[in-house]
Every structure is written in C-alpha cells, then in structure tokens.
Amino acid sequence: MEQNLTLKIPGEWVEGLPKEELALQQIFRLGIARYKVERALQLYRDGVGSIGYIAEKLGLDKQDLIREARLQELSPDYSEQTVSEELVE
C-alpha cells in the first residue's frame, strides 16, 4: 500500500544528497527502518514486552533485533522455548 506524504525538512538535511526520487525513497526507507529498530529497543528497555513480541508488532525480524540489542549491550531474556527455536534455525 502506497501513501503520499508531504514533508517540510530543513535544507541542511538534504544538502549534498541526490535529488533522484529512487535515492530519496531509499534514504527515507533506511530512516524508517532505523527508527523502528530504535523504537523497538526503547520499548524493550521500558519493559513493554519481549524482543520477539516487539519485533512482531513493529514488523521487524526477531534475529536482526536481537543482534541490534546486543550491539547496544542489551541482553535479551531467553525462555526455554526461544532457545529451542534458536537451535532449530
């Protein structure tokens, strides 16, 4: 599903960036992906749910989110079921 958005952003944010639509779409997509990861990790820190639960709700890959958590020195809790699932993959 596509959605048209109109945003006003500071000129210095786009200084030196290509003006092609595909390049700008990629930049926007990368920014959204990074935002979702940061949001997910904050929700995890706040105790909203498990890494798996949060990843599912935000449409993120659980393994990628676990790697990101470790990079930020967060140690996700593991249940026996999660460990069993990890060993199967």
Query: Rounded CA gap, 85 and 89, in Å?
Result: 7
Q: What is the pLDDT of residues 20-71, one digit of tens each?
A: 999 999 999 999 999 999 999 999 999 999 899 999 999 999 999 999 999 9
Q: What is the pLDDT of residues 4-19, one digit of tens each?
A: 888 898 999 889 999 8
Query: Rounded CA gap, 85 and 7, in Å?
Result: 42
pLDDT given at position 7 = 86
pLDDT given at position 35 = 97
How big, in percent rounded to 5, are the helix, strand and coil portions of the chain? 65, 0, 35
